[in-house]
Amino acid sequence: MNQGKLYLVPAPLDFGCDTQAPLQQVMPLGTIEVAARLSAWICENAKSTRAYLKRISELQSLSHALQALQIQELPRAVHKKGDHAGNFDARPLLLAAMQGHDIGLVSEAGMPAIADPGSSVVRAAHDLGLQVVALSGPMSLMLALASSGLNGQNFAFVGYLPQDGGERAQRIRELESLALKTGQTQLFIETPYRNAALLQALLQTLQGNTRLALSCGLTLEQAWSRSAQVSAWKRDKPAAPLDLPTVFCLGR
């Protein structure tokens, strides 16, 4: 019997936002078609997966009724800590693929396994000899990096910064020093309700001629991006829509 494949299925970036972009505007037809025919899913959250599949079904009939789909959630511990440490054995989740059915992996927004859980499932699939196929879709980190005009030949994504004020300032100085010395653009994110505090900390901590770029609400109608030296950010104080998902980039 042939094994099924593991498809990495991107989700739109409007998760948790008040407005949504029409799905076909940001998601290729090829991705929508594959997602519509899968009978088994592994996901970050079953409820948001069903909501996404409902949006898909408005463009392309699902091969299986929503109620008939196998939807398995990743354990909550995997979300919280990230699952790249390699302690979680995801192989049992892939049973349907071992039995010949294609499986989808999906997170709440963007690409699974990037700034989101899922990498343990991908590793398990490779260990089981399953074919892994990543599908195209909106990728917030790359949309933000391109929009920043910062160095795209050498960049790093470092996740979240510390919440404690002192540790956060120290980490910001560390990232700035790395960016200025090596030319490597540094990307990071924050939960939306902490975005304003992070921007304030960045403007207080960074040097005036360091370049800072923000992209808020990528792919949404209200999408907003700005890239300028820190001195210009301080002078102009633009009203960025920081309640939307935001990617921060700094560099020289």
**If binding is defined by CB under 8 A, does position 24 make contact with its own copies?**
yes
Among 3, 20, 70, 151, binds its own copies (CB under 8 A): 151
**If binding is defined by CB under 8 A, does position 118 make contact with its own copies?**
yes
Q: Give the single-character DSSP code of 122.
A: H
Tell me the C-alpha distance between 134 and 112, whole Å.
Answer: 9
φ and ψ at residue 184, rounded to 5 degrees: -85, 115
CA 184 → CA 178, 205, 207, 228, distances in Å?
7, 19, 16, 17
**If binding is defined by CB under 8 A, does position 30 make contact with its own copies?**
yes
- Could you tell me the smallest distance in angstroms from the CB atom of residue 77 to its own copies? 15
- Could you tell me the smallest distance in angstroms from the CB atom of residue 182 to its own copies? 10
Given the structure tokens 């991908």, which residue do they identify? 122
Both tokens assigned to 150: 């910062």
Is the separation of the CB atoms in 3 and 91 below 8 Å?
no
Rounded to 5°, angle at Cα 111 from 106 and 116? 80
Is the separation of the CB atoms in 5 and 132 below 8 Å?
yes
Tell me the C-alpha distance between 139 and 219, whole Å.
Answer: 10
Tell me the C-alpha distance between 133 and 204, whole Å.
Answer: 43
**If binding is defined by CB under 8 A, does position 60 make contact with its own copies?**
no
**If binding is defined by CB under 8 A, does position 230 make contact with its own copies?**
no
Residues in the chain: 252
Which of positions 64-103 make contact with its own copies (CB under 8 A)?
82, 84
CA 122 → CA 1, 13, 42, 158, 174, distances in Å?
21, 21, 11, 21, 32
φ and ψ at residue 176, rounded to 5 degrees: -65, -45
- Could you tell me the smallest distance in angstroms from the CB atom of residue 240 to its own copies? 13
Residue whose CB is less far from its own copies, 66 or 85: 85
Which of positions 186-215 make contact with its own copies (CB under 8 A)?
213, 215
- Could you tell me the smallest distance in angstroms from the CB atom of residue 143 to its own copies? 4
Among 49, 72, 147, 210, binds its own copies (CB under 8 A): 147
Per-residue mark of binding to its own copies, 153-192 (x: CB under 8 A): xxxxxxx-----------------------xx--------
**If binding is defined by CB under 8 A, does position 4 make contact with its own copies?**
no
**If binding is defined by CB under 8 A, does position 228 make contact with its own copies?**
yes
Residues near its own copies (CB under 8 A), total: 66
Among 42, 103, 113, 199, binds its own copies (CB under 8 A): 113
Residue whose CB is less far from its own copies, 67 or 129: 129
**Element containing residue 156 per DSSP (H, E):** strand 155-160
Which residues sit at the interface with its own copies, rule CB under 8 A? 8, 21-22, 24-30, 82, 84, 111-116, 118-127, 131-134, 136-139, 141-159, 183-184, 213, 215, 218-219, 223, 225-228
